[in-house]
Structure 1
Amino acid sequence: MPAANMDSHEVTTRLHVDELILDYLLWFCTSSLLKERQLRLDDHVAKQEWTDAAKSADMGMRLVNSFTQTFKRLHPNAILPDSIALRQRICRFATVLLRRLDATSPTFTRVSQSGARTRAWLSRKRASNVIEDLTSSSSPSSNVPIAFEFSQTPFAPSNLRRNTEEMHRQMGFSGLPAAQRIYWGNISLREGLNEFMILSSWTCAFNDEVSTLWMETATNYMVQGVLEAYRCEGAKGIDALNECFSWGPTVGGDGLDDDETVVNEMFGGDGGSVGILFEKMKTEALLEVLPPDSTPLETHLDRLAEKHTWAVFEETLVSGYLTAVISAQPSPVLLQLESGKLNGFEDKDISTLLANAGVLVR
C-alpha cells in the first residue's frame, strides 16, 4: 500500500519494520562477505562450500542494493536510527574494501569526492601538497624529497597489469573464473580510506577511544592506497599521494560537512594529543613512501610493496579492526527472518515485505 494512502500509525509501523529489515540485510551482507573471504583464502576448503558462500555474498549485496532503494522511495524523509546508520557504514566499508563497490549505492559505484576534500584539507593546512606540509612541520626530515619525484608517473601499462594481478592473487581472486568475479568494482582504496575514517570517527564517538593500534592501521592504509594508486591504477602526478595522506587535525574548519567535522573532532580527542601522535605516525609513513635520493619512484614503490604486502594488511584490517567494530554491534532484531517469521506480525505481512526486499518467499 502506498504511504500516501496509509494513516499515521500504519506509516510509522511500516517505517519501523522496514528499518528492521534494512538492519538485518546490512548485517547479512557484511557477514556473508567476510565468510566468503575466509573460505576463498583457505586452500583446504571444498570448492562447493566456497561457491555457496560466494553466492550468498553476492545475494547479500544485491539485497542491500535493492532494498536500500526501496527504503528511500518509501521513506524519503526518514532518518535512520544511529545503530542502523552505523551498520550501514560498516556494510559500505566492507563492500568497498573487499569488492571495490558500494552495495548501498544504486549503481554499486560512487562519484569520487576525494579530490575536492583533499584540496580543502590542504587549503586549511596552507600547503599545496602533503610533502610541502611535511617540510613545514615542527620536526621535518633533513632530506625530504620534493614533489617532482612523482613526475615519473604513470608507470608502464604492462607493469600496472602485473601488479594488479599480484594484488588479486593475494586477495585470492586471481584463480577464479570471470563469471565468479561479477561483483567486483573499481572504487579505489583512496575512496575506501575516506569510508574508513568516517566509520572510525563514528565508532570513536560511541566508544570515545582512539588507540595507537588504530593509528598504525590508518597509516598503513594510507601506504596501501599509494601503492594501489601508482602501481595498479596508473595514477599520474602527486594528486593520489595527496589524497591518501591528507588526513589529520586541521584548524579553521569552516565549510566542513558533518562527516569531516566528526573526523576532525576524533583527531582533537584527549586534549589534542590524539592528533599530535597521529601526525607523528603519519609523517613516518609518508617518509617511508617517498623515495631516497637516486632511487626511481617505481623501484622504491615495488620494494615497499614487497615489504608491506596487501595480504598481511588486509588480514590485519579485517581480522583486527573490522571484526572488532562488528563484534561491538548488537545482533539484528530480525535474525528470525531467516525462518520467515517475525513476532507480532502476520505471515502475510512478512511475506509481502520480504518480497519487497527481493527475498524468495517459500
Structure 2
Amino acid sequence: MAMSSPSPPSPEGGKRANPETQVEVDVMILDYLLYMAARQVIAGRKAQRSGVVAGGSNGAADAEYGGGDGDERMVGDMPLMMVDSFLPIFKANHPTHLVPESTHSRLLLLKFSTLFVHRLQRSPSTPPLPSLQHLRARNHARATTWLSHHPPSQSATSIFNDLSNGLPIPPQSLHQNRRHVLSHNCPPNTVLTTPDFYGTPACLSLRDTLPAFMELSAYITSTYKSGRVNETWEKMAAEYMLQAALEAYLVYGESGDAALRECFAWGFDAEAMDGDAGEGGFLVNTMFWDEDQSIMEKWARIRNEHMQALAPPPQTHLQAHLETVATRFPLFRFEGRLLDFLWALTRHETAPVLAQLETGCLDGFSREETEALTRRVGIQIN
C-alpha cells in the first residue's frame, strides 16, 4: 500500500485540501500510527522477554538485540518516533477536534504500554524529572483524597503498623535487589548500564504507572464491556498494587506506610461521584461500582488479600518477609500476564482503516466502495 500525502497549496491558485477530507485523513493516519506503535512496543517486549529467559545472565541473548557492541536501542522506538512527530502536528492542525473512541483508547494503550515497558531503563520515552514530580504529586493527591474517605480496617492498620519498623532497607540490600530485578527482566547486555538509573527518582516506578493502568482499564471497560470488570482483571490489578508496594520498599527504599497506602488506594468512592476528578477519574471510580455491590465486595476482598500478604508473621523480620513475598509473586511472571492482557486489547478492537486497507478490503465495504474511499482520501492500493 502506498499513501500519497495531501496535495500542497497550488502556487497559482492557492488551492488547499478540503478541510473535512484533511481531518479524516489525519485521523486515519494518527489511528494507524498509534495502533502500530502500541503493537510494536508490546510485541517487542514479549520478544525481548524470550531473550531474557534464553540468555539468563550469560549474554546469550545479545545477538538477538544487537548487544555486545554498545547497542542499547529500546524496543518499538521507530513507531514511537513517528507518533511523537505526528501527534503535535495533528493537535496544531485540529486543536478542537475530538478523536473517535477507538483512537482515544489506542492513545491510552500506547501511553501506558510505553511507560510500563520502558520504565527499567533510561530511554527517549522517560519523562523528565519535573514531569515525574508533577505526576507523583497528582497521584499522591488522588490517593490522599481516596484514603480520607476510606478509614483503614483493623487488619489494614496492623499492616501499616508493621511497616513502621525495619524500614528503610539498607542501601546494600537495595542495590542487590535492583540488580536482581534487572537480571531477571532485562537483556543481559543492558544490566550493567542500568543500576545507576533504576530505583532512582529519575526512573518511573510501578507506583507511578499504576494510575495510567487504571485509566486505560476504565476507558476500555466503559467503552467495550458495559462498564464491568471481571475477577481475572481484579486479581491482576491487585497484584499490580502489590508489586508496586514491593518495589517501593525493596528497590526505592521507602519507609513508613505511605507508599503502601497509596498503592492500595483504589476502589469505589461514593464521595467522589460529584467531584472534579475529570473523565478519567470518573471512569475509574465507576469501574468499581455495580448496582448490587457484587463487584465492590469482591474487589474489597481481593484487594485486602493482596495487602494482607505484605504483613509479616510474628517474629519475622520485615525485610526477609518482603523478599519472600517477592519470590512468591515473581515480577517477571506478573509482567507476562500484563503483557498478554495488553496484547489482547490490541486484538480486541477493530483494526484501523489504514491497516485494513493494507489487505485491500475494508470491513463493511465492498471492493468497489473501498476503492472509492481510497481515491477520495488520496490512498493508492497496489
TM value normalised by structure 2: 0.76
CA distance in 2, matches of 1:17, 1:240: 45
Q: 1:104-159: CA deviations, max 9, x gaps? A: 8986964322101101111222x3xxxxx132xxxx58x93443623533322222
Instruction: Give structure 2 stretches of 5+ with no counterpart.
Output: 1-7, 55-59, 360-372
Deviation at 1:333, TM superposition (A): 1.7
Counterpart in 2 of 1:356?
Answer: none
**Counting helix residues as a fraction of each chain, which structure ranks higher?**
1
Counterpart in 2 of 1:207?
Answer: 225
Counterpart in 2 of 1:343?
Answer: 374
Q: How does 1:198-347 map to 2 (within 5 A)?
A: 198-205=215-222, 206-208=224-226, 209-253=228-272, 254-255=274-275, 256-319=277-340, 321-335=341-355, 343-344=374-375
1:165 aligns with 2:158: no
Question: Contact (CA 8 Å) 1:193, 1:221: kept in 2 or not?
Answer: yes
**What percent of counterpart residues are identical?**
28
Q: How does 1:1-362 map to 2 (within 5 A)?
A: 10-43=18-51, 49-51=64-66, 57-100=76-119, 110=132, 111-112=134-135, 113-125=138-150, 127=151, 133-135=152-154, 140=155, 144-147=158-161, 149-150=163-164, 152-176=166-190, 186-205=203-222, 206-208=224-226, 209-253=228-272, 254-255=274-275, 256-319=277-340, 321-335=341-355, 343-344=374-375
Deviation at 1:17, TM superposition (A): 1.7
CA distance in 1, matches of 2:358, 2:64: 20
Change (3 A) 1:93 1:287: same
CA distance in 1, matches of 2:283, 2:99: 18
Question: Contact (CA 8 Å) 1:165, 1:174: kept in 2 or not?
Answer: no
CA distance in 1, matches of 2:377, 2:308: 62
Deviation at 1:236, TM superposition (A): 3.0
Deviation at 1:249, TM superposition (A): 1.1
Instruction: Give structure 1 stretches of 5+ with no counterpart.
Output: 128-132, 351-362
Q: Displaced runs of 4+ in structure 1, greater than 6 A?
A: 6-9, 101-106, 177-181, 336-339
TM value normalised by structure 1: 0.79
Change (3 A) 1:345 1:162: farther
Change (3 A) 1:47 1:12: farther
Amino acid at match of 1:10: N
CA distance in 2, matches of 1:7, 1:248: 55
Question: Contact (CA 8 Å) 2:267, 2:288: kept in 1 or not?
Answer: yes
Q: 1:2-30: CA deviations, max 9, x gaps? A: 9xxx9997333222222211111111212
Deviation at 1:251, TM superposition (A): 1.5
Bigger mean CA offset, 302-311 vs 247-256 = 247-256
Counterpart in 2 of 1:357?
Answer: none
Larger relative CO (CA 8 A, sep 6+): 1 or 2?
Answer: 2
CA RMSD of superposed structures (Å): 3.6
Change (3 A) 1:175 1:50: closer
Amino acid at match of 1:207: K
Question: Contact (CA 8 Å) 1:65, 1:105: kept in 2 or not?
Answer: no
Question: Contact (CA 8 Å) 1:32, 1:56: kept in 2 or not?
Answer: yes
Q: 1:60-113: CA deviations, max 9, x gaps? A: 222222222222222222222110000111111111111128988986964322
Question: Contact (CA 8 Å) 2:165, 2:318: kept in 1 or not?
Answer: no
CA distance in 2, matches of 1:36, 1:267: 32
